[in-house]
């Protein structure tokens, strides 16, 4: 398949480019064309003539979206709409990467693929609007929600915790928000599985298991040999942010399993693999 991968310079886009070696992957990023421009997207389709699009490009600064609302809307909304128009015109399928933040986070058991959207921040609202556009496609459209992404790249929660551990006697991390940490290479495999399968619908692509941000941070610290008490729990009220966060954004998965997608490894297993990769890079 000729697969156009947007956001190819980002953490997830790079992972897709790395694991999808059995396909003709066409990676594009902002330097290749601004997806918020309909003409730029037309030119990308004319140049690459894809069979499928894996749309990883996004505005992901959750707090920044509260103050730069228009940019977040254009990057997450207009860019997706422009891709959809070309996909519908050329009968090209689209895999759209969405977020756990389309849900309010009030259900302590988490959310299934068919649960109603109810975002509590602007970032989540822009992704929810983009989901609605994908649902209205005439070409095959797939919505893949994920959460708490980490992996090879310049910034993520794991790298932040490791940096802070080296500069502070202890770190306070919120313990009242729960979700599913997801390793970018594992999610990339899911996205390519779905592109190959071609079945439209809603899917939840995360590593298995769930935890709080505090538990995630403590796992990072323990794996690097720090004592358990170097990570201290706190409440969201003690650590206010511009954007509200869902208290529970656990994503339950059924539709991937129904298609025969292999079970995803636990987030703990994924974290071990990522930390081993970082240690190898640091030893060079």
Query: 241 in a domain, yes or no?
Result: no
Beta-bridge partners for 179: 211
Selected catalytic residue, list 59, 101, 111, 123: 123
pLDDT of residue 166: 87
> What is the β-pairing status of strands 211-212 and 178-179?
antiparallel
Are 136 and 124 contacting, i.e. CB atoms less than 8 angstroms apart?
A: no
Domain span including residue 73: 2-154+180-209+249-264
> How far apart, in whole angstroms, are the C-alpha atoms of residue 19 and residue 209?
23
59 has catalytic annotation = no
Query: 219 in a domain, yes or no?
Result: no
Total domains present in the chain: 1
Query: 283 in a domain, yes or no?
Result: no
pLDDT of residue 191: 98
| pLDDT beneath 70, residues of the chain | none
Q: What is the CATH number of the domain that holds 45?
A: 3.40.50.720
> How far apart, in whole angstroms, are the C-alpha atoms of residue 261 and residue 142?
15
Query: 49 in a domain, yes or no?
Result: yes
Query: 139 in a domain, yes or no?
Result: yes
pLDDT of residue 275: 98
pLDDT of residue 71: 97
């Amino acid at each position: 398949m000729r697969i156009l991968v947007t956001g190819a310079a980002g953490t997830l886009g790079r992972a897709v480019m790395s694991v999808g070696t059995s396909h003709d992957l066409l990676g594009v990023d902002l330097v290749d064309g601004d997806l918020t421009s309909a003409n730029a997207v037309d030119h990308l389709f004319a140049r690459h003539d894809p069979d499928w699009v894996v749309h990883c490009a996004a505005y992901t600064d959750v707090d920044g979206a509260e103050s730069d609302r228009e940019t977040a809307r254009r990057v997450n909304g207009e860019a997706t709409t422009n891709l959809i128009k070309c996909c519908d015109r050329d009968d090209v399928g689209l895999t759209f990467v969405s977020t756990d933040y389309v849900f309010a986070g009030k259900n302590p058991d988490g959310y299934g693929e068919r649960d109603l959207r109810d975002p509590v921040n602007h970032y989540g609202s822009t992704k929810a609007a983009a989901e609605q556009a994908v649902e209205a496609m005439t070409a095959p459209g797939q919505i893949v929600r994920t959460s708490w992404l980490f992996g090879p790249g310049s910034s993520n929660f794991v790298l932040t915790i490791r940096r802070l551990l080296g500069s502070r006697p202890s770190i306070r991390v919120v313990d009242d928000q729960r979700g599913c940490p997801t390793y970018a290479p594992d999610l990339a495999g899911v996205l390519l599985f779905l592109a190959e399968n071609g079945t439209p619908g809603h899917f939840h692509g995360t590593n298995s298991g769930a935890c709080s941000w505090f538990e995630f941070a403590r796992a990072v610290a323990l794996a690097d040999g720090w004592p358990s008490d170097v990570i201290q729990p706190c409440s969201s009220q003690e650590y206010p942010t511009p954007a509200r966060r869902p208290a529970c954004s656990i994503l339950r998965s059924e539709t991937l399993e129904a298609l025969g997608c292999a079970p995803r490894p636990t987030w703990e297993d994924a974290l071990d693999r990522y930390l081993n990769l970082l240690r190898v890079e640091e030893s060079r």
